[in-house]
Amino acid sequence: MTTRKDYYEILGVPRDATKEDIKKAYRKLVKQWHPDAYKGSDKKNAEEKFKEIQEAYEVLSDPQKRSMYDRFGYVGEPSYSGGKTSGNSGGFFEDIFGDFQDIFDVFFGGSRTAHSTRTHRSVKGEDIHATITVELKDTINGKITFLEYNRKATCNACNGTGAENGTSFSTCPRCNGTGTVTEEHRSFFGVFTNTHVCEACGGTGKIINKRCPACHGTGTVQERHRVRINIPPGVEDGATIRLAGQGNSGRYGGPNGDLYVRVRVSMPPYYRRSGNDILYTVEIDYTQAALGTVVKIPLPEGSYENLKIPAGTDPGTVFKLKGYGIPSMSSGRRGDILVTVKVKIPKPSLKEKKLLEELARTKGISR
């Protein structure tokens, strides 16, 4: 019977650790204890420690083995690939890390310059960015508008292949039609096979013999496209609306890119926006401030609302027109119009001066 070991303690994880926690701990320990990467002098101890880590990971990463271990404390003889810790250990590492890229990242903290892939992948089309301008009144109830723009669309003449009639191809001589080129990479781990996209055909495995006359071999043509845009109530200046799939055409069966529309809100010069409130300043004469008055306040929709200024209003007083501001995008509740009173005190005429002097004497105000 094998010696019973605490695999959780070996990997330094709690008994309720997730699969990702176990994998993360394992990768960290491998980087520390692999004999070929071990920095210390006791290589033999590192090799034994590394075997122990492998054994613990094989059990705890397998749901059935882990369940048995949790119940009985052992799972029988370990089946991991025992003592071979140097040379070509690629098969074991590929089971754990996925491919050479992960191994490279664990031990070197970097990435290769070549992009590894075994099949040619579809490519999403490029995104398009546009800007539209709406009036402030459009932010009150929202608005439906339309935008026309140029975008790349799949060429119907060649079905996006770039070849005349979609058939004028020959097998790529560089990759023999596979779309990939395989090269060997030697390191202190052994020999690794590095497969990357063929540069000659871009991964398609085919070379165009005769380019499509409609798209000149690009697989796409320019088209004028029109979309409907829903401007939501309360939209802020600079907000971005995303329309999925309305961008440029993808390649090799890939989806279209997206359209990102930036909204600019044109504010009247007498307004300022603060959240969902509108700030407005009204200027009145000092006699109006003293005696009281009624002023017309412009509303975002284009109409007016009367605001009563009571007698004796001080300069800088703020009045609130409740519910006449901009709607909240979340609740729909409208903000307010905050009206600040500015009192204008002009140089008095001769007649006004005499009246003011008389008023001052009446109030007992000395000059």
pLDDT (tens digit per residue) in 325-339: 999 988 889 999 999
Give me the pLDDT at residue 3, please: 52
DSSP run (H or E) holding 296: strand 293-298
Compute the distance between CA of residue 103 and CA of residue 254 in angstroms, rounded to an integer. Answer: 30
How many other C-beta atoms can be found within 10 angstroms of the C-beta atom of residue 152?
23
Full-model pTM: 0.57
Compute the distance between CA of residue 345 and CA of residue 347 in angstroms, rounded to an integer. Answer: 7
Compute the distance between CA of residue 70 and CA of residue 176 in angstroms, rounded to an integer. Answer: 52
How many other C-beta atoms can be found within 10 angstroms of the C-beta atom of residue 137?
14
In eight-state DSSP terms, residue 276 is T
Residue 312 has pLDDT above 70, yes or no: yes
Residue 24 has pLDDT above 70, yes or no: yes
Average pLDDT of every residue of the chain: 81
Give me the pLDDT at residue 224, please: 96
Higher pLDDT, 353 or 213: 213
Render pLDDT for 107-136 as a digit per residue (tens, 0 to 9). 444 434 334 334 446 788 999 999 999 999
**Residue listed under structure tokens 């690629």:** 90
Residue 76 has pLDDT above 60, yes or no: no
CA-based nearest residue to 230, from 314, 134, 100: 134
Give me the pLDDT at residue 88, please: 40
Give me the pLDDT at residue 175, please: 86
Burial label, 3 (beta-carbon count in 10 A; 0-12, 13-18, 19+): exposed
Residue 98 has pLDDT above 80, yes or no: no
**Residue listed under structure tokens 């300022």:** 272
For the chain, give the percent of residues with pLDDT over 70: 82
Render pLDDT for 165-180 as a digit per residue (tens, 0 to 9). 878 888 888 888 888 8
CA-based nearest residue to 271, from 140, 86, 114: 140
Left if phi > 0, otherwise alpha if psi is -120 to 50, otherwise beta: which for 204? Answer: alpha
362 residue type, one letter: T
DSSP notation for 87-149:
S--HHHHHHHHSSHHHHHHHHHSS--SSPB-SSPPPBPPPPEEEEEEEETTHHHH-EEEEEEE
DSSP notation for 34-47:
-TTT--SS-HHHHH
What pairs with residue 225 in β-bridges?
149
Whether residue 249 contacts residue 131, with contact meaning beta carbons closer than 8 Å, is answered with: no
Burial label, 282 (beta-carbon count in 10 A; 0-12, 13-18, 19+): middle
Range of lowest pLDDT (125-134, 174-183, 192-201, 269-278): 192-201
Range of lowest pLDDT (198-202, 205-209, 251-255): 198-202
Burial label, 10 (beta-carbon count in 10 A; 0-12, 13-18, 19+): buried
356 residue type, one letter: L
Residue 227 has pLDDT above 60, yes or no: yes
**Residue listed under structure tokens 């664990």:** 106
Residue 358's pLDDT band (cuts 50, 70, 90): confident
Give me the pLDDT at residue 228, please: 96
Backbone angles phi, psi at 199, to 5 degrees: -70, -25
Q: Average pLDDT, stretch 144-159?
A: 93
